[in-house]
Structure 1
């Protein structure tokens, strides 16, 4: 319930839902310039998205794709040992777009 707890939770989300999937999928994909950029962009955009939410929380909707939803897509791809830099790039961009997504 404290500000420290909110920041610590966001840091844990960045590591578990941003950095870990990016490292896993980068190891599955053949290294190219595009894959390197896509898999570096994923945790970076996830951190920016969480920072924006911590500064300006929203009620009833998310501004941009939540990192938990993006991480869920990455986990679904991981079940099938599938790695796609384009999907990762798309998820990264969706996390910081000003699109409103209704909370469930």
Structure 2
């Protein structure tokens, strides 16, 4: 069985992985958590980001939040939504590839 999480964790500890990948590994636990747990945590974080953006947008319309805070929250939500769409597309493409395989 291929274990990409542990190989990624070893690259992470050796310092060969940097930037957003390092932050993502810390956020979703590169300590051996399974892929399903990491995926569900990412989905929960995306949903929370969308709720936060909505709340900040409403606060901005009421004059309780600055335009900068509203833009930052909406941009973060947009980035999470684009990531979710990209993951969905990859899953659909993988499923289609599996259905085309000869048994």
Shorter chain as denominator, the TM-score bin is: 0.3 to 0.5
- Greater helix proportion: 2
Bigger radius of gyration: 2
- Greater strand proportion: 1
**Higher relative contact order at CA 8 Å, sep ≥6: structure 1 or structure 2?**
1
TM-score, with structure 2 as normaliser = 0.36
